[in-house]
Amino acid sequence: MPKTELKMEFLGSSAVNSFVSNTSSPRMVMEFNHQTQHLPLLTPDEPIIKTGIEYELGKYINDVRIEHDSVVKAIIPKYKEYGIENPPLYTLFLEYEEDGHIYIDYVNVDTFRTSHNFFGYRLKPTSDFYNLSYNSSIAKDTILATGDSYGEEGAYKYGLNANVAFMSHPSVSEDGFVVSESFLKRAQFNSIIKRVINVTRDTIPINLYGNKDVFKFLPNIGEHVREDGLLCALRPRNDWFSISDMNTSNISEPDVTFDNLIYVNPNSTVIDINITCGHNNKPEFTKKITEQLDSYSEMLVNYYRNIVNKYDQLMHEKKVMYGSDDVVKLTPKMRRFIADCIIKITMYSTSKNKLCYRKLPIDQYRIEITTMSTIKPNIGFKLTDIHA
C-alpha cells in the first residue's frame, strides 16, 4: 500500500474522538475537515484519553524511513565542510541484497519539509541516525528523522490537552475561544518560506547584511533575517546614476520606493541556500559584490562532487572485491540521482554551456533561499476541539 494512502477504517471521523457519542453528526463532519487542515505544532501532546488509533496513524507520519535491511556505505552532509553547523540535509548511500543481487540506493535525511509557500514543518534526526557510521547495519523501517507529531512510543500527536471552562463571554460567540498566553506558546508552529531570486545584469544587489569591508547580499545559513523581515533587495540598474547608486553608502541602504524588496517573516532563520551561477563572458559585478554568491554556488557544486566521488569510490571497492562491478545494481532512483549530479558538475565546469532553468537562461545568479520562523497564534487564528 502506498504511504500516501490510508486504510478505509482510518477515514472515519470518530477514529480520534473518544467522545463521538456526545457529538452531533454535522459537527463530526466539520471535525473531520479540521483534522485534514490542522498545522503540525512544535510541542503537541499525546491525548490523555486515546482511542488506540493514534499508534496506527503514527505509521503514516511523513518521515524518513529505511525501506530495506541495509548497510551504510557513505554519509554526506550538505555544506558541512564549510563550517555549517546544522546542514540542511544528509545524503546516505545504502547497500542491500535482494533476489540474489546487491543493490546500491540512497536516501536524503531532510531537516525540514514543505509543500506550501508559507507552511512547513521541521524534521528532527533520531538517535538511530546519530548512531550511524560507515558499514553500520540498519534495519528496515528504521526512522532516521521524523516530525514533532510523532510520539516517543509511536503515537500520532495531533493537538494539545487543555483545561476548558464553559461560560458566557463576549469572545466565545460564533464558536470563539478565549485562551491563555501559556496556551498560545504551546500552540506555536513553524512557517517555512522559500524565495527564488534572479540576479541579472540589469539589477544591482544591495549590501543589506554586510559592511564597508564585506559585501553580504543575503544572511548566511543559520543567521537571522532583519526584524522587519527584509530578506534582500535588488536595485534596477541605470548606468546614468551608477555613481550614486553604487557608492558605499547608497548600496548599503534599500530604497523602499524604487528597489525590488523581498520579504519573509520577521526574525526568520535561513536554513538552506542553493545558488546557481550562470555563465557569461563579461562579468557584470566586481568580485567583492559576488564573493558570497560565488561561495554558495561553489558549495553546491562541491556537494555534487562529493556525491559522485563517493559513488566512484564505492563502485571501485566493489570491482576490487568481486572482480567486476557488474554484480552491483543501482536502483532507478540512485541511477537518476548520480546522473543528475554528473550533469550539474559538467555544466558548471565549462563556460561553453548555457545554464537554464525550465528553458529560461540563467543570466547571472539564480538563488533559492529557504527560511524558517516560529509563529505564535493570535487574534484571528483558527482553533478547534475534537467536537469541532
* Domain contains 264: yes
Q: At CB < 8 A and 24+ separation, what contacts does 175-184 make?
A: 177/383, 179/383, 184/376, 184/377, 184/378
CA pair distance 385, 18, nearest whole angstrom: 12
CA pair distance 232, 320, nearest whole angstrom: 51
* Domain contains 58: no
* Domain contains 284: yes
* Domain contains 17: no
The yes-or-no verdict on residue 352 having pLDDT over 60 is no
Query: Which of the four pLDDT bands, split at 50, 70 and 90, describes residue 1?
Result: very low
Find all residues with CB under 8 Å of 54, minimum gap 6, and list them. 16, 46, 47, 151, 155, 156, 157, 158
Cα 38 from chain centroid (whole Å): 19
User: For residue 37, what pLDDT is reported?
Assistant: 77
CA pair distance 312, 320, nearest whole angstrom: 12
User: Tens digit of pLDDT for each residue in 332-341?
Assistant: 999 999 999 9
Give the number of other Cβ atoms within 10 Å of residue 218's Cβ: 24
Q: What is the largest CA-CA distance in the chain?
A: 81
User: For residue 282, what pLDDT is reported?
Assistant: 65
Q: In this predicted model, which residue has the larger pLDDT, 243 or 295?
A: 295
Number of domains in the chain: 1
**Angle 178-158-24 (CA atoms, 0-180°, nearest 5)?**
65
- End-to-end Cα separation, the chain, in angstroms: 30
- What Å distances lie between residue 326 and 71, 90, 102, 106, 332, CA to CA? 19, 28, 10, 19, 15
CA pair distance 66, 139, nearest whole angstrom: 7
Grouping H, G, I as helix, E, B as strand and the rest as coil, residue 375 is strand
Cα 257 from chain centroid (whole Å): 32
**Angle 18-21-23 (CA atoms, 0-180°, nearest 5)?**
95
| Bridge partners of residue 373, in order along the sequence | 191
* Domain contains 176: no
User: Tens digit of pLDDT for each residue in 285-305?
Assistant: 788 888 999 999 999 999 999
* Domain contains 371: yes
* Domain contains 238: yes
* Domain contains 324: yes
Single pTM value for the model: 0.86
CA pair distance 64, 46, nearest whole angstrom: 21
The yes-or-no verdict on residue 325 having pLDDT over 80 is no
CA pair distance 114, 205, nearest whole angstrom: 28
What proportion of the chain, given as a percentage, has pLDDT over 90?
A: 45
Least confident of 14-23, 39-48, 166-175: 14-23
User: For residue 359, what pLDDT is reported?
Assistant: 58
Q: Which residues of 279-298 are buried (b: 16+ CB within 10 A; e: fewer)?
A: eeeeebbeeebbebbeebbe
- What Å distances lie between residue 227 and 16, 57, 269, 375, CA to CA? 40, 39, 11, 14
Enter the C-alpha cell of residue 159.
493537538
The yes-or-no verdict on residue 358 having pLDDT over 60 is no
Range of the domain at 335: 190-375
What does the mean pLDDT of the chain come to? 85
